[in-house]
Amino acid sequence: MPDSPVLKPRRSVLYMPGANERALEKAKTLSADALILDLEDAVAPDDKEAARDRVCAAAASGEYGEREITIRVNAIDTEWHDADLRAAAQAGPAAVVVPKVSSAREVQNIERALELSGAPEHTKIWAMLETPSAILHAEEIVSASDRLTVLVMGTNDLAKELHTESAPGRAPLLGALSLALLATRAHGKVILDGVYNDVKDLEGFEAECVQARQFGFDGKTLVHPGQLEPCNRVFSPSEKEVENARKIIDAFEAADKGVVTVDGRMIESLHVDNARRILALAATTASA
Ligand SMILES: CC(C)(COP(=O)(O)OP(=O)(O)OC[C@H]1O[C@@H](n2cnc3c(N)ncnc32)[C@H](O)[C@@H]1OP(=O)(O)O)[C@@H](O)C(=O)NCCC(=O)NCCSC(=O)C[C@H](O)C(=O)O
Ligand SMILES: [Mg+2]
């Protein structure tokens, strides 16, 4: 069965370079819901093998508390991919994050390779959508395997492939983000927004978090610890939202009919479903 989008918080998912020992250590104290220990873009070719050993040891260490630990392997067509996948399968992280996935066949090959390498059942596949082909095949990718539980947007690579220029509100990328989100929701899985590169611009970052939440993303991928606080705040239901959700549920249950009004707004059972989703999400993030 696919993961429910509300059972585990994935508000803030922080990348960290696999070769950076200090960052790996620091991550044990950071308020990220999940970590992506990176073997791909953030690691120079000469450091790939040492980073693989370090990251797999970190993932197997059990020293990261409640944070979900995932490993991003190098892309399928690289010389490091097979060894990364075998080592990650044996380390048994929460997920293997696979960059530049472009078809259902690739997901099925990853699934088979994980099984052959003895990956535990709890090691899921998170597929990155960051090519035009991935966006065009988003639905077949997301539904290719029950082991695939999360899609991750790779907006830097996608913008590069599309020749997209930076624009207010990410207008040129909105079509691709929508397609990925539609595919995810059609199959009951989880989707994370891409990263915001300007680590000093927290105002711009927060605005992009708000946009991502309004869109329906479950959380955002991050590149710097300074992005954690605004991200967790924006993706957590506020006190007002929780209060409103309780009001909707109470009013609907008390009325015992198909439609009621709360504060002058029409409420039907679909709004109650949404209110329950908000409360479930609030419960998972209350102590975080
Ligand atoms: C972006 C950075 C290179 C900035 O690094 P730096 O200038 O060293 O930051 P600070 O001096 O402000 O760091 C302060 C302390 O925080 C630690 N730190 C920094 N970043 C991280 C991190 N990501 N995880 C954990 N800890 C981190 C520093 O070590 C400092 O600690 P201390 O010395 O104890 O005070 C840097 O932030 C960075 O490398 N970020 C991650 C880059 C990365 O992983 N990139 C690849 C993923 S993004 C991507 O590929 C997107 C996708 O594929 C796409 O296509 O869009
Ligand atoms: Mg990328």
Percent of the chain with pLDDT over 70: 97
User: What is the predicted pLDDT for the residue at 12?
Assistant: 98
Using CA positions, which residue lies closest to atom 35 of ligand 1? Answer: 26
User: What is the predicted pLDDT for the residue at 6?
Assistant: 40
Average confidence (pLDDT) over 131-157: 98
Q: Are strands 260-262 and 190-193 parallel, antiparallel or unpaired?
A: unpaired
Between 52 and 1, residue with greater pLDDT:
52
* Residues 72, 55: Cα–Cα separation, whole Å: 10
Average confidence (pLDDT) over 146-157: 98
Ligand 1 atom with least separation from CA of 155? 56
CB 27 within 8 A of CB 64: yes
pLDDT at residue 16 greater than cutoff 80: yes
Q: Please tell me the number of the ligand nearest to residue 155's CA.
A: 1
- The class level of CATH for 12-235 reads alpha beta
Q: In whole numbers, what is the pLDDT of the chain averaged over residues?
A: 95
Q: What is the pLDDT of residues 33-74, one digit of tens each?
A: 999 999 999 999 999 999 999 999 999 999 999 999 999 999
Element (H, E) at 17: strand 12-17
pTM of the model: 0.95
* Residues 233, 209: Cα–Cα separation, whole Å: 9
- Ligand 2 centroid to residue 158 C-alpha, Å: 8
What's the token pair of residue 207?
Answer: 């605005």
Ligand 1 site-directed mutation target among 40, 98, 224, most atoms within 8 Å of CB: 224
Domain ranges of the chain: 12-235, 239-285
Q: What is the pLDDT of residues 191-243, one digit of tens each?
A: 999 999 999 999 999 999 999 999 999 999 999 999 999 999 999 999 999 99
Is 0.85 exceeded by the ipTM?
Answer: yes
Ligand 1 atom with least separation from CA of 199? 1
pLDDT at residue 149 greater than cutoff 70: yes
pLDDT at residue 287 greater than cutoff 90: no
Using CA positions, which residue lies closest to atom 25 of ligand 1? Answer: 23
